[in-house]
Chain A
Amino acid sequence: MTDIILESITKSYDSGSRLFRRRKFSQIWALQDIDLKVSSGEFVCIVGPSGCGKSTLLKIIAGLEKPTSGEIQRPENIAMVFQSAGLLPWLTVEENVSLPLKMKGLSAKEARKQADFYLHLVGLQKFLQKLPRELSGGQRQRVGIARALSVKPDVLLLDEPFASLDTITVDDLHADLLEIWSQFKPTVIMVSHSIEEAISLSDRVIVMTENTIKKSIPIIFSRPRQVSQVGFVVAVTKIKDLIR
């Protein structure tokens, strides 16, 4: 397994405005001068105000978007969990998880077996033949996580996966995610808008503002972390100050 290394990554979009033909005016910066190293097996959270480019950064790491300039080094085998879960509505839960495995060349039977295993892992053994729309938001997200795990990724990327869920569900999913992480030890990079979520989960919180990384804050005290712990409160204040 290799580390993820990003060197002076920039990303800009053309605003598409024909009024300003000169490039200087028509460019919108999404990312500027991003240097980041994530070691293998590390759990990292990226936080920042909306529009700071954290999702764009994750997409670049995922290979979904190309950086305008800069170097990127990452392992081949990457899986991603999306905010909307990204399940295909016409396939059952089991088929949703086994489809990427079939694409990897597994036989239909073997793919189904693997899919069932990971769906058991996230506690959805009773829902194999359900359609995504018959599940709750939390259950759909679990399917997304099972699908991501089933390809045995070196890197697991999460793009605000718990943003639209209620707090009780989120707490359960946090605990499960940490357990899965300690069991399989993939590198995890998670984008979050919740500072508390970032601190309670990750080894390191990366704070982004205005399209660049402001600071990287290691969270060293041991898990499970409580919001009431002194270290937790200190970290929250520190990050909030950075964002302001």
Chain B
Amino acid sequence: MLKTYHSRYHFSYRTSILHHLSALIFTLVLLSFGLLVIFNFLHPVNLSDYKNVSIYDILLATTLTLFRMIMAFVLSIIVAVPLVIISTSHPKVEKILLPVFDILQSIPPLAFFPVLVLFFIKFNLLESAAIFILFMEMVWILVFSMIGGLKTIPDDIKNVASIYKITGLNEIWYILLPAIFPQIVTGALLAWGASWSIVIVAEVLHTYIPGGTISQDLFGLGSLLVNSAFYNNNLLFLATLLVMIIIISLMNVLIWQRLLHLVQRYKFD
């Protein structure tokens, strides 16, 4: 069993999985950012009464929602990794930072979303408001699962790092990040799960803006779902829901299952 697994994923640290992943994430960010910017020029799509929505519109909505989530996810990885490494670098720092994280984590992002929207609307950055709220949801899940991962690194492994002078950035790259890779994957899985429920609300911005209209919504699966329900377009509602279920299932099969399999290699006995 181990043999087949080994030949299927023949990585080494010369071309490590982390290199591949970071390259992939970087490309996705650039792509998402580009598309979101381009789409802002096309925006708003004329969907004023949610009557004549084609399958093309649903697919476009899916793409946009996914890109928002990817942006938020990448942002939370970029923030969470240094945050975790700093917070666990010294027992005293940990003693101060962990309770702070705990408080921040317990604030439901949706509770302060209305205030946030008002702030972002001032600078006409509605897209950023949605991404930010997704980020707030994702980042703490990642932070706490990564901290859990760092705590379970065996003492012998830490001693190996210090005896063989694998320190500083080298320690982070060659030891800490691979060691918490399983927890990053499980954290990511949970974060994505949670953000699917947030994205539905985060796109329907007009409900948070005093005197807001539907044209202020961000076009995506979430706003399609809410507004089609609002306009009694049941067919559209069901179609959107179906697409959403298909996307989530596909992600599970194509991404999470594979990652969970790959992660076996990074687990300590």
List, sorted by A's number, 9 A–B pairs whose CB atoms are closer than 8 Å. A78-B163, A84-B156, A86-B156, A88-B174, A89-B266, A91-B12, A95-B13, A99-B164, A134-B6
Contacts of B160 in A (CB 8 A): 80, 82, 86, 88
Asked whether B170 lies within 8 Å of A88 as measured between CB atoms, the reply is no
Asked whether B13 lies within 8 Å of A91 as measured between CB atoms, the reply is yes
- Known contacts A89-B266, A95-B13, A133-B269; is-contact A64 B162 (Cβ 8 Å): yes
Contacts of A63 in B (CB 8 A): 162
Asked whether B159 lies within 8 Å of A82 as measured between CB atoms, the reply is yes
Closest chain A CB from B152 CB (angstroms) = 13
A95 to B179, CA, bound (A): 15
A64 to B163, CA, bound (A): 7
Contacts of A59 in B (CB 8 A): 159
Asked whether A89 lies within 8 Å of B268 as measured between CB atoms, the reply is yes
A83 to B154, CA, bound (A): 12
Interface size on B, as a range, is 20 to 34
Contacts of A134 in B (CB 8 A): 2, 6
Whether a CB of chain B sits under 8 angstroms from the CB of A151 is: yes
Interface of B is mostly: helix
Contacts of B266 in A (CB 8 A): 89-90
Contacts of B166 in A (CB 8 A): 99-100, 103
A131 to B268, CA, bound (A): 12
Contacts of A85 in B (CB 8 A): 156
A91 to B267, CA, bound (A): 11
> Which residue numbers of B lie inside 8 Å of A, CB to CB?
2, 6, 12-14, 154, 156-157, 159-160, 162-166, 170, 174-175, 178-179, 181, 265-269
Asked whether A89 lies within 8 Å of B269 as measured between CB atoms, the reply is yes
Chain A CB within 10 Å, residue with most, of B160, B179, B269: B160
The listed residue (A89, A90, A108, A151) touching B164 by CB distance below 8 A is: A151
Asked whether B170 lies within 8 Å of A79 as measured between CB atoms, the reply is no
A106 to B159, CA, bound (A): 22
Asked whether B267 lies within 8 Å of A80 as measured between CB atoms, the reply is no
A90 to B6, CA, bound (A): 11
Bitwise, A122-164 to B at CB < 8 A (1) or not (0) is 0000000001011000000000000100010000000000000
Contacts of B265 in A (CB 8 A): 89-90, 131
A48 to B166, CA, bound (A): 32
In the complex, residue of chain B having the shortest beta-carbon distance to the beta carbon of A59? B159
A122 to B265, CA, bound (A): 24
The listed residue (B14, B165, B267, B269) touching A108 by CB distance below 8 A is: B14
Asked whether A103 lies within 8 Å of B156 as measured between CB atoms, the reply is no
Nearest 7 pairs of A and B residues by beta carbon: A100-B164, A86-B156, A86-B160, A82-B156, A90-B266, A80-B163, A84-B156
The listed residue (B14, B162, B178) touching A88 by CB distance below 8 A is: B178
